[in-house]
Amino acid sequence: MGTALLQTGNAGQALPHLESAVSRQRSNARLLATLAQAYFELSMFSDAADHFRKAVRIEPAELQFQLGLANSMAMQQQYGEARRLLERIVARQP
């Protein structure tokens, strides 16, 4: 339900569903990243970064999660950290 709500532009309504799902499936990287995206869309960039970071720890090769983390950092004006992450991504995937 949370994913469907997020995909239809209802991040606020999706949030409690996604948070509940993540509480039951803490090691599901895709679910963590979906929750992170909802936080991002709600301008909750610190929470988005935290959840993208967790997703990256679980699936470090997934570029989408790394890009989400870099974007979340940039939105918090953590430009140096975001740049370093993006440079690592480019070095691995030119």
Under a CB-based contact definition with an 8 Å cutoff, are residues 47 and 19 in contact?
Answer: no
What's the CA gap between 50 and 23, in Å, rounded?
A: 14
Does residue 32 or residue 61 have the better pLDDT?
Answer: 32
Note the pLDDT of residue 92.
Answer: 85
Under a CB-based contact definition with an 8 Å cutoff, are residues 54 and 22 in contact?
Answer: no
**Model pTM greater than 0.75?**
yes
Task: Compute the average pLDDT of residues 1-27.
Answer: 96
